Amino acid sequence: MSTNDALFARAQQVIPGGVNSPVRAFRAVGGTPRFIQRAQGSAMWDAEGRRYIDYIGSWGPMILGHGHPAVVEAVSRAVSEGFSFGAPTEREIELAEAIIGLVPSVEQVRLVSSGTEAGMSALRLARGATGRSKIIKFEGCYHGHADALLVKAGSGLATFGHPTSAGVPPEVVQHTLVLEYNHVGQLEEAFASHGKDIACVMVEPIAGNMNFVRSSVPFMTRLRELCTQHGALLVFDEVMTGFRVALGGAQSVYARLIPGFQPDMSVFGKVIGGGMPLAAFGGSKAVMSQLAPLGPVYQAGTLSGNPVATACGLATLKEIAKPGFFESLSAKTTALVQGLTQVAQDAGVPFCGDSQGGMFGFFFHPTLPQNYATVMATDKDRFNRFFHGMLNRGVYLAPALYEAGFVSAAHSDEDIALTLDAARHALRD
């Protein structure tokens, strides 16, 4: 049997940092990554045979849990028919129809293979459709690793961004404005200064890459008003929240709070692939018709609409669309967050948490953060100790303060009880 330490040492010889995505390296929390051998239901087992209750769920896709029978059957059937054709399939149409049927703001979608690809393509489409160059994003929101989106804020209010990654020339991000999340004043100033040049605003409606931070209703209301007033497109990045916080995504949550609310474009991923590499971006027919082969905005992908991935995604969407699914999932997630809050309160530890549907987050801080700066001010050291305390007791949380967590339909009352018991002990570490 290989150990996690041995596998990590071996991986570092052939893979940069020993991982194929940076957060997996445990650099934020310290220690050795767990190399997962298998998963089933709400649990994963590492290379040493250790079992963990899984609150990562492959960073969101596994909303049904691992190895759901209906999904496994659909994928097995698709595999027997062929891995990839490089030609259209009926299943691509079915998945597009399913997404459009659940999200009223979307009239057409284009399938791709990753959230980064979907976000990058949506950005290009917004610029092509409006004939404008400037974009707005928000500090703490992550939209994939496309060059124009790897930026941090400048030193002044509503200033243009600077690259946060080597290999991104400054001129590539010169048209990207980075604002503070939930800051209406900055938003108004940005549009007052650059409104006629702004192609789009891209936002995570519930940010999952600075843990779990909601956009406020006043902020979202004003954002919609300003985009409409200035002719900019409002792009919802629902790679994480889509079909995870509600059947209609986060936009359905805000539509209940803001009469007539809709984004202009949406980016989806994770749940719509059910764990397979699949994502999508969509919007009105008028906007989507700007894409090749109909329009001048080019986008293509050899494995887009892969028949195995679409089978996995379709089977997942069918299951989560069943009556009562989200009510049950939300109840489990709420029970987890409320339980953790009570455990921390009993221990006298500053703590707050929030959730929506099957997505949650928590902070060692007395009040819920509203922006990235506040997230950065929370107790990182205590989080790191808590993470390892939970991991050592068989509970796998995201190995970074800045990542949301996920509950699946496979999590049981016993799983939540065991998690809360582990938390009681971990808070003493």
- Could you please report the per-residue DSSP string of 130-159? HT--EEEEETT----S-GGG-EE--SSTTP
* Per-residue confidence (pLDDT) for residue 334, from 0 to 100: 98
For residue 268 the two structure tokens come to 């989806």
What is the maximum alpha-carbon separation in the chain?
62
Strand partners, 406: 359
Cα→Cα distances 404→67, 178, 212, Å: 22, 22, 5
CA pair distance 167, 169, nearest whole angstrom:
6
Contact in structure between 98 and 311 (CB atoms under 8 Å): no
* Per-residue confidence (pLDDT) for residue 154, from 0 to 100: 42
Q: Could you report the per-residue pLDDT of 278-301, keeping only the tens digit for each?
A: 999 999 999 999 999 999 999 999
pTM: 0.95
Chain position carrying tokens 């290999």: 167
Question: Residue type at 360?
Answer: F
Q: Helices 413-426 & 325-346, crossing angle to 10 degrees? A: 20
Contact in structure between 379 and 9 (CB atoms under 8 Å): no
Catalytic residue among 52, 55, 142, 396: 142
Catalytic residue among 270, 332, 402, 415: 270
What sign for the dihedral angle of Cα 215, 218, 224, 228?
Answer: negative
- Whether 270 is catalytic: yes
- Whether 322 is catalytic: no
Query: Torsion over CA of 116, 197, 205 and 377, rounded to 10 degrees?
Result: 90
CATH numbers and ranges of domains, the chain: 4-67+323-426 (3.90.1150.10), 69-320 (3.40.640.10)
Using DSSP's 3-state secondary structure scheme, residue 311 falls into: helix
Q: Provide the residue-wise pLDDT of the chain in tens; the chain has 429 residues.
A: 799 999 999 999 999 999 999 889 999 899 999 999 999 999 999 999 999 999 999 999 999 999 999 999 999 999 999 999 999 999 999 999 999 999 999 999 999 999 999 999 999 999 999 999 999 999 999 999 888 888 875 433 334 556 677 888 888 888 999 999 999 999 999 999 999 999 999 999 999 999 999 999 999 999 999 999 999 999 999 999 999 999 999 999 999 999 999 999 999 999 999 999 999 999 999 999 999 999 999 999 999 999 999 999 999 999 999 999 999 999 999 999 999 999 999 999 999 999 999 999 999 999 999 999 999 999 999 999 999 999 999 999 999 999 999 999 999 999 999 999 999 999 998
Bridge pairing between strands 395-396 and 51-54: parallel
Catalytic residue among 54, 237, 264, 354: 237
CA pair distance 39, 377, nearest whole angstrom:
35
Question: Residue type at 267?
Answer: V
Q: Name which of 420, 400, 418 is nearest 338 in CA terms.
A: 420
Would you call 418 exposed, middle or buried from its count of C-beta atoms within 10 A (0-12, 13-18, 19+)?
Answer: middle
Which string of b and e fits 219-238 if b means at least 16 CB within 10 Å? bbbbbbebbeebebbbbbbb
CA pair distance 195, 203, nearest whole angstrom:
17
* Per-residue confidence (pLDDT) for residue 161, from 0 to 100: 55
DSSP characters for 330-389? HHHHHHHHHHHHHHHHHTT---EEEEETTEEEEESSSS---SHHHHHTS-HHHHHHHHHH
- Whether 237 is catalytic: yes
Contact in structure between 217 and 224 (CB atoms under 8 Å): no
Using DSSP's 3-state secondary structure scheme, residue 192 falls into: helix
Contact in structure between 359 and 240 (CB atoms under 8 Å): yes
DSSP type of residue 223: H
Cα-Cα end-to-end distance for the chain: 30
For residue 184 the two structure tokens come to 């209406």
For residue 207 the two structure tokens come to 């940010």
